Chains A and B, each alone.
Chain A
Amino acid sequence: MTATEPLILGIESSCDETGVGVVRGTQLLTNTVSSSMDEHVRFGGVIPEIASRAHLEAFVPTLQAALAEADVSLEDVDAIAVTAGPGLSGALMVGVAAAKALAVATGKPLFAINHLVAHVGVGLIGRAPADGLPPALGALLVSGGHTEILRVVDIAGDVELLGSTIDDAAGEAYDKTARILGLGYPGGPAIDRVAADGDPKAIRFPRGLSQPKYMGTAEEPGPHRYDWSFSGLKTAVARSVEQYEAAGREVPVADIAASFQEAVVDVVTSKAVLACQEHGITDLLLGGGVAANRRLRELAQERCAAAGITLTVPPISLCTDNGAMVAALGAQLVRSGRSPSGIAFGTNPSLPVTSVVLPEV
């Protein structure tokens, strides 16, 4: 294999997307995704067992389509990468079983990688291989499964979690709020659409963990300076709806949606920018499905610009969970000479970001 331009097959199954991607170094050859999202609509959220069943049915057809689109064969591949965590346990298991079987069948090395760090790997796609990632890079990941701010010193081995949600993910808060407002699933696009006609200042909803006792100061940070909490926000929305209903008044759905969205986006971007400023981060990458949100992109852009931070928002197909990001991280691991993970590792639903690739067991 050529060390700088390895051909990597990436496999993703940590939530409801079955993803197979192929990259050559930093060049994207295919990003093939099969989603079970439609099967979760009637439940208003991702049902792990349904997602796992869908992964089993989708994997081989997705792999076939990916190989065809990339116009490569399994023999051409230099290494395989798979998401080993964090994510839904049963869902992760399907992709890992498939990846291990491919490693056995082809004799190729297998890298068991961290899903969150893979979201950052997207930032490399399309860049010149020699350029690498910006030196002072942060990543803001916002999706139905996670909400994190990361500091990336070296994507192949030195990543730090600066802050994360302590309860619901931001995307989950959108889903639950959309359900309260009767807007359907997934909540992100539904609320974003309705919010366009509402007044974001109509109701002041709480910004979780932003009181001084949680924030502290830059010198003496509080216990949750860069963390988020969205469960109180969801409850506040529910109370607000109830008050209108109890008073026999029409629920101002657009105003509530806009005010909810403003609360989420405000606290997400303000804490992310604060974390960047206090850690010398000058480039911020936005990842996760909520990166598609119009207001999040707008406010993140505005606040990053004001703070002198360069914001990068990848194409949405690369922000949502996919196999190309897994392959892109795999390519960096090969490039930097990291050892593969073997085929005896287990999945880890709560894999910390400090573990970019699992060691061989």
Chain B
Amino acid sequence: MLLLALDTSAAATVALLQDDVVVGRFASADTRSHAEVLAPAVRRILADAGVAGTDLDAIIAGVGPGPFTGLRAGLMTARTLGFAWGVRLHGVMSLDALAFDAVTRGATEPASEFLVGTDARRGEIYWAAYRAPAEGAVLPELLDGPHVGPAAGLPSGRPVVGRSASLYPEDLAGVPGFTTSDPDAASLGRVAHARLLAGRALLDTSPLYLRESDAQVPGPRKRATA
């Protein structure tokens, strides 16, 4: 199964996977240039692998939660590529990629509960609660979320995976080695592959904004110059 995965919920990341083997990848630490770097990265990765877009079995897009503009650049790219190539399109919640990383790299005890949290800016984090799978399995179970809110409001007593742990160390008990991690397309692609193999449903590519737009409905006019 040949998969192209994109996640722009934090960094801009792209990966090409043959089943769960990563055959090409790109990551940019710059969180504000997604629209610039994404398309060249896709083109280069496919060219390097000698793969045509129409060879893909599916495109996997991280649907967030994440800062709006970057998230949209990834989703718009994925949707347009899927349309133009006639390739199936699936969404995966971006925090699932981090949860998967923690489990597959042995950072969680089997069947233990843990949290994943990323930077939502404005003093808040995007987070979700997971349970690690039993020994030998790879897919963590989403228990709650995703949510957006202050780090201090998270359920206490559970280890935290993801960048939020280094941003709010006084509130969160970070899992060593995972306190500056962001969702990555390679892991996102592996999550999708594992779910597809297991016959589990994936999401569509609706963005998880979790916040309303900042727009305020103007109140009734009191004075004309108000």
**A contact residues vs B (CB 8 Å cutoff):** 42-44, 47, 49-50, 52-53, 55-56, 59-60, 63-64, 74, 89-90, 93-94, 96-98, 100-106, 179-180, 182, 235, 237-239, 241-242, 245, 343-347
**Which chain B residues lie closer than 8 Å to A74 at the CB level?**
84
Give the contacting residue for A43; candidates B69, B81, B217; CB below 8 A.
Answer: B217
Identify 25 residue pairs between A and B in the complex whose beta-carbon atoms are under 8 Å apart, listed by A's number: A43-B215, A43-B217, A49-B215, A53-B207, A56-B76, A56-B79, A64-B83, A90-B68, A90-B69, A94-B72, A94-B76, A97-B38, A97-B77, A97-B80, A98-B79, A100-B38, A100-B77, A101-B78, A101-B80, A104-B39, A179-B218, A237-B224, A242-B225, A344-B37, A344-B39
**Which chain A residues lie closer than 8 Å to B39 at the CB level?**
97, 100-101, 103-104, 343-344
B214 at the A interface (CB under 8 A): yes
**Which chain A residues lie closer than 8 Å to B43 at the CB level?**
104, 343
The residue among B79, B207, B218 with the most chain A CB atoms within 10 A of its own CB is: B79
Interface residues as binary, B95-115 with A (CB distance below 8 Å gives 1, 0 otherwise): 000000000000000000000
A13's nearest neighbour on chain B, judged by CB, is: B76
B133 at the A interface (CB under 8 A): no
Give the contacting residue for A93; candidates B42, B69, B81; CB below 8 A.
Answer: B69
CB distance from A178 to the nearest CB of B (A): 12
Interface residues as binary, B208-224 with A (CB distance below 8 Å gives 1, 0 otherwise): 01000111111001011
Is the beta-carbon distance between B76 and A242 smaller than 8 angstroms?
Answer: no
Is the beta-carbon distance between B84 and A106 smaller than 8 angstroms?
Answer: yes
A52-B68, A94-B73 provided; 8 other pairs, C-beta below 8 A?
A47-B215, A49-B68, A53-B209, A98-B79, A101-B42, A101-B76, A104-B53, A345-B36
Is the beta-carbon distance between B77 and A239 smaller than 8 angstroms?
Answer: no
Given A43-B217, A100-B39, A245-B224; A56-B81 close (CB under 8 Å)? no
A323 to B202, CA, bound (A): 34
CB distance from B71 to the nearest CB of A (A): 9
B209's nearest neighbour on chain A, judged by CB, is: A53
B175 at the A interface (CB under 8 A): no
Is the beta-carbon distance between A56 and B207 smaller than 8 angstroms?
Answer: yes
Is the beta-carbon distance between A42 and B217 smaller than 8 angstroms?
Answer: yes
Is the beta-carbon distance between B217 and A101 smaller than 8 angstroms?
Answer: no
**Which chain A residues lie closer than 8 Å to B36 at the CB level?**
344-346
CB distance from B204 to the nearest CB of A (A): 12
A180 to B55, CA, bound (A): 58
Interface residues as binary, B52-84 with A (CB distance below 8 Å gives 1, 0 otherwise): 010000000000000011001111111111011
**Which chain B residues lie closer than 8 Å to A238 at the CB level?**
224-225
* Chain B interface residue number, banded: 35 or more
**Which chain B residues lie closer than 8 Å to A102 at the CB level?**
80, 84
Is the beta-carbon distance between B213 and A242 smaller than 8 angstroms?
Answer: no
Is the beta-carbon distance between B40 and A105 smaller than 8 angstroms?
Answer: no
**Which chain A residues lie closer than 8 Å to B84 at the CB level?**
74, 101-102, 105-106
A97 to B77, CA, bound (A): 6
CB distance from B12 to the nearest CB of A (A): 11
**Which chain A residues lie closer than 8 Å to B223 at the CB level?**
242
Is the beta-carbon distance between B80 and A344 smaller than 8 angstroms?
Answer: no
Is the beta-carbon distance between B75 and A56 smaller than 8 angstroms?
Answer: yes
**Which chain B residues lie closer than 8 Å to A42 at the CB level?**
217
CB distance from B51 to the nearest CB of A (A): 13
A61's nearest neighbour on chain B, judged by CB, is: B83
A98 to B80, CA, bound (A): 6
Is the beta-carbon distance between B76 and A105 smaller than 8 angstroms?
Answer: no
Is the beta-carbon distance between B80 and A43 smaller than 8 angstroms?
Answer: no
CB distance from B72 to the nearest CB of A (A): 5
**Which chain A residues lie closer than 8 Å to B33 at the CB level?**
346
Give the contacting residue for B80; candidates A59, A90, A245, A343; CB below 8 A.
Answer: A59
**Which chain B residues lie closer than 8 Å to A103 at the CB level?**
39
B83's nearest neighbour on chain A, judged by CB, is: A60
Is the beta-carbon distance between B225 and A239 smaller than 8 angstroms?
Answer: yes
Give the contacting residue for A239; candidates B42, B215, B216, B224; CB below 8 A.
Answer: B224
Is the beta-carbon distance between B35 and A96 smaller than 8 angstroms?
Answer: yes
**Which chain A residues lie closer than 8 Å to B79 at the CB level?**
56, 59-60, 98
